[in-house]
Amino acid sequence: MSEYFRTNPSKIYEYASGVSKVASVALAPAVGANQTLIAAITSTIIRVHGISFQSQTATQAGIVILNGSGGTILYRLIAPASTLPPFLLPICDCGYFETTSGVGLFGSVTTGDAYINVFYTTYSA
Protein backbone atom coordinates (compact mmCIF):
# COMPACT_ATOMS: atom_id res chain seq x y z
CA MET A 1 0.00 0.00 0.00
CA SER A 2 1.31 3.43 -0.89
CA GLU A 3 2.28 5.74 1.95
CA TYR A 4 -0.17 8.29 0.53
CA PHE A 5 -3.14 6.10 1.47
CA ARG A 6 -2.18 5.35 5.08
CA THR A 7 -3.28 7.33 8.08
CA ASN A 8 -0.44 8.26 10.39
CA PRO A 9 -1.10 10.85 13.12
CA SER A 10 2.61 11.53 13.60
CA LYS A 11 3.33 12.06 9.91
CA ILE A 12 4.96 15.32 8.89
CA TYR A 13 2.86 17.18 6.34
CA GLU A 14 4.81 19.10 3.73
CA TYR A 15 3.68 22.39 2.25
CA ALA A 16 5.38 24.87 -0.02
CA SER A 17 6.27 26.97 3.03
CA GLY A 18 7.73 24.12 5.12
CA VAL A 19 6.55 21.19 7.22
CA SER A 20 4.02 20.82 10.00
CA LYS A 21 3.35 17.97 12.45
CA VAL A 22 -0.15 17.06 13.51
CA ALA A 23 -1.07 18.87 16.72
CA SER A 24 -4.09 18.25 18.91
CA VAL A 25 -6.19 20.15 21.36
CA ALA A 26 -8.67 18.71 23.89
CA LEU A 27 -11.51 21.01 24.95
CA ALA A 28 -14.69 20.95 26.97
CA PRO A 29 -16.73 23.87 25.61
CA ALA A 30 -19.98 24.87 27.29
CA VAL A 31 -23.13 25.96 25.48
CA GLY A 32 -22.39 29.22 23.69
CA ALA A 33 -21.63 30.81 20.34
CA ASN A 34 -18.28 31.43 18.61
CA GLN A 35 -16.00 30.01 21.29
CA THR A 36 -12.32 29.89 20.33
CA LEU A 37 -11.14 26.30 19.86
CA ILE A 38 -7.84 27.09 18.12
CA ALA A 39 -6.53 30.66 18.21
CA ALA A 40 -5.74 32.47 14.97
CA ILE A 41 -2.13 32.90 13.88
CA THR A 42 -1.23 35.70 11.48
CA SER A 43 -0.88 34.52 7.85
CA THR A 44 -1.48 30.89 8.89
CA ILE A 45 -4.12 28.38 7.79
CA ILE A 46 -5.46 25.72 10.17
CA ARG A 47 -6.32 22.40 8.48
CA VAL A 48 -8.42 19.93 10.50
CA HIS A 49 -7.34 16.29 9.98
CA GLY A 50 -9.57 14.57 12.54
CA ILE A 51 -12.10 15.11 15.33
CA SER A 52 -13.39 13.17 18.31
CA PHE A 53 -16.57 14.55 19.89
CA GLN A 54 -19.01 13.54 22.63
CA SER A 55 -21.75 15.17 24.69
CA GLN A 56 -21.01 15.58 28.40
CA THR A 57 -24.50 14.41 29.38
CA ALA A 58 -25.97 10.92 29.32
CA THR A 59 -29.39 12.06 28.10
CA GLN A 60 -28.86 14.28 25.05
CA ALA A 61 -26.81 14.43 21.93
CA GLY A 62 -24.46 17.35 21.49
CA ILE A 63 -24.43 19.66 18.50
CA VAL A 64 -21.38 21.74 17.64
CA ILE A 65 -20.98 23.95 14.60
CA LEU A 66 -17.33 24.59 13.70
CA ASN A 67 -16.75 27.91 12.01
CA GLY A 68 -14.18 30.50 11.03
CA SER A 69 -14.40 34.20 11.74
CA GLY A 70 -17.69 35.86 10.96
CA GLY A 71 -19.57 32.61 11.53
CA THR A 72 -18.61 30.93 8.23
CA ILE A 73 -19.74 27.34 8.82
CA LEU A 74 -17.00 24.80 8.11
CA TYR A 75 -18.51 21.62 9.63
CA ARG A 76 -21.46 20.50 11.77
CA LEU A 77 -21.07 17.79 14.40
CA ILE A 78 -23.88 15.84 16.03
CA ALA A 79 -22.49 13.62 18.76
CA PRO A 80 -24.04 10.91 20.89
CA ALA A 81 -24.76 11.16 24.60
CA SER A 82 -21.91 10.24 26.93
CA THR A 83 -23.22 6.69 27.42
CA LEU A 84 -22.45 5.87 23.74
CA PRO A 85 -19.15 5.80 21.81
CA PRO A 86 -17.97 9.25 20.65
CA PHE A 87 -18.45 10.65 17.16
CA LEU A 88 -15.18 10.22 15.29
CA LEU A 89 -13.75 11.67 12.11
CA PRO A 90 -10.59 9.56 11.82
CA ILE A 91 -7.32 11.32 11.13
CA CYS A 92 -7.06 11.78 7.39
CA ASP A 93 -3.88 12.77 5.53
CA CYS A 94 -5.61 15.31 3.31
CA GLY A 95 -7.79 16.78 6.07
CA TYR A 96 -11.48 17.56 6.09
CA PHE A 97 -11.57 21.36 6.01
CA GLU A 98 -9.47 24.40 6.79
CA THR A 99 -9.79 28.02 7.83
CA THR A 100 -8.74 30.93 5.71
CA SER A 101 -5.42 32.67 6.35
CA GLY A 102 -5.15 34.33 9.76
CA VAL A 103 -8.47 32.94 11.01
CA GLY A 104 -8.86 30.70 14.06
CA LEU A 105 -11.24 27.80 14.54
CA PHE A 106 -14.38 28.54 16.55
CA GLY A 107 -17.20 26.37 17.82
CA SER A 108 -20.82 27.08 18.64
CA VAL A 109 -22.27 24.53 21.07
CA THR A 110 -26.06 24.53 20.86
CA THR A 111 -27.52 21.71 22.98
CA GLY A 112 -25.25 20.77 25.88
CA ASP A 113 -21.67 20.91 27.07
CA ALA A 114 -19.30 18.75 25.05
CA TYR A 115 -15.90 17.09 24.91
CA ILE A 116 -13.99 17.63 21.69
CA ASN A 117 -10.52 16.71 20.44
CA VAL A 118 -9.28 18.38 17.26
CA PHE A 119 -6.26 17.06 15.33
CA TYR A 120 -4.84 19.70 13.01
CA THR A 121 -1.86 21.15 11.17
CA THR A 122 -0.97 24.77 10.51
CA TYR A 123 0.84 26.19 7.53
CA SER A 124 1.66 29.58 6.03
CA ALA A 125 -0.69 30.94 3.43
Domain annotation covers residue 4 = no
Domain annotation covers residue 89 = yes
Q: Is 117 exposed, middle or buried (0-12, 13-18, 19+ CB in 10 A)?
A: middle
Domain annotation covers residue 15 = no
Q: What is the pTM for the complete model shown?
A: 0.79
Taking only the tens place, the pLDDT of each residue in 39-81 is: 998 998 899 999 988 888 877 767 788 888 767 888 888 777 7
Helix then strand then coil, in percent of the chain rounded to 5, is: 5, 55, 40
Residue type at 63 in one-letter notation = I
Kindly give, in sequence order, each residue whose CB lies less than 8 Å from that of residue 85, ignoring residues fewer than 6 positions away.
Answer: none
- Give the residue numbers spanning the domain of 48: 24-124
Domain annotation covers residue 83 = yes
Domain annotation covers residue 46 = yes
Helices and strands per DSSP (H, E), number in the chain: 0, 11
Taking only the tens place, the pLDDT of each residue in 75-86 is: 888 777 777 778
CATH number at residue 29: 2.60.120
The structural domain count of the chain equals 1
